[in-house]
Amino acid sequence: MVRYAEPGVVEWVESGGGPLIAVPETVLPFWAGADGEETASDYDRACEVDGQAGLLPVGDGTALVLGDEPAATAYLPGHGLFVRWCAADSEEDVLASVPSAAATAAWGPELTWQVPGPVRLFDAAWPGTGLTGADQVRVALEPGTYAVGAARVQPGPETWLDLVRLRLVAPR
């Protein structure tokens, strides 16, 4: 986990070059990351997801893969967004541009994600059982069905963001 602002304000997760994944806490032990006995690891499956967001089965649940860019990513609960920092001069520039970027984004087709509760966001190469505080961020989601949409936005000449919006459509 990387902090660019004051500690505890915004927590960013970075990857070693592959996708990030949001795995429900209830199925974390079933995510093997790049480890495993299978010919295609969980990490390989995550790398095969096309585009900015996709869903993968994990145990008896489903994880959200944030693909396309290995960008530093934070979840902003007040906006219901994963914000992926593709290019910007500072965290301040990224965070200041989020409200207008989200309001004007051209959202792609939505996915439907069943979420049993909190998820952990981390580099898809890590196994779910080997996470430490520095490797991941806990995202406290309410149980229910979420519509997930993604958009690439350029809110300024030197600022590019990927946004992944979570919209609770059916609380449980």
- Reported pTM: 0.92
What Rg do the C-alpha atoms of the chain give, in angstroms? Answer: 15
In a domain, residue 6? The reply is no
Quick one: which of 60, 90, 77, 153 has its CA closest to 121?
77
In a domain, 1, yes or no: no
In a domain, 12, yes or no: no
Dist CA 148 CA 41 (whole Å): 25
CA-wise closest residue to 122 among 38, 42, 36 = 42
32-71 pLDDT, tens per residue?
999 866 678 999 999 999 999 999 999 999 999 998 778 9
Q: What is the dihedral of CA 19, 24, 128, 18, to 10 degrees?
A: 0
Domain count, the chain: 1
Q: Report yes or no on 3 lying in a domain.
A: no
Alpha helices in the chain (DSSP H): 42-47, 91-104
With contact defined as beta carbons under 8 Å apart, do 73 and 12 qualify? yes
The whole-number average pLDDT for the span 135-152 is 96
Would you say residue 15 lies in a domain?
Answer: no
94 lies in which domain range?
20-171
Mean residue pLDDT of the chain comes to 92
Q: Is there a domain that residue 156 lies in?
A: yes
| Chain-centroid distance, C-alpha 105 | 18
Is residue 24 included in any domain, yes or no? yes
For residue range 68-89, list pLDDT tens digits in order: 778 999 999 999 999 999 999 9
